[in-house]
Structure formats: C-alpha cells, structure tokens
C-alpha cells in the first residue's frame, strides 16, 4: 500500500538526550493512526519533527510521495499537513471566525492578521464556513475564542487546522480537558472526516477514546517504538501493558 506519511528510522537528539531513536511509522490514506506512550516518551517531539518545527537528526520523512525531512514548516503545511497543539494556541482578542480566516495559507502574508475579515477571499471564506459548520461552532462565530470553554477552544483549534485544506490532520491530545460527551462527539466527528478522505494522526492519553477511534497504534517509550498494531493487538501486548497500559485502568 502507498502510504501518505512515512517515517524511516527518524531520530532526534537534543544535546545528550535522544528524544527519538530510530522511529519508523506510516500513515495510510484515509486512516486514523494513534501515537501513545508515557509522559516524556517523545510523542510531541515526533509531531514537531513531522511538521518541521524540529529537524530530524537522522532518518527521513516522506509525505505524499515527497521527501520533506528538511523542509520548513510553512512548506510542509502547504503540502497538506495541519496540526493542533497540546497547549491550546489561540490569539487574544480574535473571534472564532477571525481564527478560521487567518490560518489559511493562500490568504497571503501577515497582512491577513490586520485586514478586516470582510476582505478575505471567497475560497478562504467558504473553507471557514465549512469548518464552522463541521465543528458546530456557528453559535460562537463572533465570540472571542479565548473566552470559550476549554472543549470549545480545542474545537476552534481543530477547525482552524481544517481550514488549511489538509490531507493529514495531526492532533496533539485533542480530548484533553473535554468531558465524556464532548469526547464522544469529537470521536464521531473525526470518524466522519476520515470517511470523507482525511487521514488523521493523533497523540492521546485517553485510552478508551484511542482504542475506539484508531485503526492503527504506535507505542512510544523512551523515544523508541515499543509496539505497533491494531488497538486489540496493542492492548494485549505484554510489553505495552508493562510499560504503559498497566497503569491505565480504563482501557
């Protein structure tokens, strides 16, 4: 199968710390893939390497048939990868609608931060409307995003990522801070997006959520891959139980 994203023996070393060590993984098209593992295992570093925030010390990253290991992050975003962050990153004072307009690459340069939303181009406008609709944020369109509940702010971040028109959506702990109903609603929404052809790579500690959503899982531990497989395979892997899931009661 041709994969959308492939990492081949990727390592990232900070000074003496080997945050990632020979990690190989792949994301097939139209699939939801999860990355799990204990705190400090290297999950966010992995996201940072894929999105160009960090350069891999060794190894290759190929996306959509292109070797992009050394690409800067804006080029990677234009190639079709969008992400959200573990710590929500929303701009102070900007409404939900403004967030959805400014994220889009074809909206030009920094001017998009100061131009009133009415000057947005029609494509950006349509994408923002779609994202607003998909995430059920219509009622909050003109609300300053940072004043919303934590769960809604997470949705704004995801909607913003979606407006860039990605082929791969990368979510860093998307249900952190969400209650059970919000998480379940998001799970169904992500399945719907996957059904429409989007690939999703996510980091998450909420094991019931991960196990019910992902087609494939990778388990990181101390920067190395400990296991990979379907949720059922990973759940019954003794090494994973020992290093990680043994301490998670609810999966």
Cβ distance to ligand ATP smaller for residue 137 or 171: 171
Q: Which of residues 73-102 bind ligand ATP (CB under 6 A)?
A: 86
CB-nearer residue toward ligand ATP: 34 or 42: 42
For residue 39, state whether it binds ligand ATP (rule: CB under 6 A): yes
36 contacts ligand ATP (rule: CB under 6 A): no
HEC letters along 158-217: HHHHHCCCCCEEEEECCCCCCCHHHHHHHHHHHHHHHHCCCEEEEECCCHHHHHHHCCEE
Q: How far apart are CA 44 and CA 52, in angstroms?
A: 12
Q: Shortest CA distance to 137 belongs to which of 160, 121, 114?
A: 160
CA distances from 138 to 7, 121, 162 (A): 37, 20, 15
- Give me the 126-155 binding string for ligand ATP, x by CB under 6 A, dash otherwise: ------------------------------
Q: Judged by CB under 6 A, does residue 42 bind ligand ATP?
A: yes
In the complex with ligand ATP, the residue whose CB is nearer, 55 or 180, is 55
19 lines the binding site for ligand ATP (CB under 6 A): yes
- From residue 196, alpha-carbon distances to 19, 30, 171 in Å are 34, 8, 17
Regarding 34 and contact with ligand ATP (CB under 6 A), the answer is no
Of 75, 63, 55, residue with least CA distance to 10:
55
Using the contact rule CB under 6 A, the part of the chain among 36-44, 120-128, 130-138, 160-168 near ligand ATP is 36-44
Among 6, 11, 26, 44, binds ligand ATP (CB under 6 A): 44
Establish if 14 lies at the interface with ligand ATP (CB under 6 A).
yes
Does position 221 interact with ligand ATP (CB under 6 A)? The reply is no
Which candidate, 205, 212, 202, 88, places its Cα nearest to that of 147? Answer: 88
Residue ranges binding ligand ATP (CB under 6 A):
14, 17, 19, 37, 39-45, 86
């Amino acid at each position: 199968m041709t994969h959308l994203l492939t990492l081949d023996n990727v390592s990232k070393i900070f000074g003496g710390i080997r945050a990632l060590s020979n990690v190989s993984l792949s994301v097939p098209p139209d699939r939801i893939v999860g990355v799990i593992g204990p705190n400090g295992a290297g999950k966010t570093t992995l996201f940072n390497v894929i999105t160009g925030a960090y350069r891999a010390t060794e190894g290759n990253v190929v996306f959509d048939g292109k070797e992009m290991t050394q690409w800067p992050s804006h080029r990677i975003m234009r190639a079709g990868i969008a992400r959200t962050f573990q710590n929500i990153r929303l701009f102070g004072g900007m409404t939900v609608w403004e967030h959805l307009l400014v994220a889009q690459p074809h909206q030009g340069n920094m001017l998009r931060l100061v131009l009133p939303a009415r000057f947005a181009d029609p494509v950006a406008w349509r994408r923002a409307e779609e994202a607003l609709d998909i995430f059920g944020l219509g009622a909050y369109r003109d609300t300053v995003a940072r004043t919303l509940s934590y769960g809604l702010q997470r949705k704004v971040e995801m909607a913003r990522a979606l407006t860039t028109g990605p082929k791969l959506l990368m979510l860093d702990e998307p249900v952190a801070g969400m209650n059970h109903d919000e998480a379940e609603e998001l799970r169904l929404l992500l399945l719907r997006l996957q059904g429409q052809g989007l690939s999703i790579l996510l980091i998450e500690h909420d094991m019931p959520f991960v196990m019910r959503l992902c087609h494939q899982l990778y388990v990181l531990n101390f920067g190395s891959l400990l296991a990979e497989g379907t949720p059922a395979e990973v759940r019954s892997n003794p090494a994973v139980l020992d290093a990680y899931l043994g301490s998670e009661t609810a999966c």
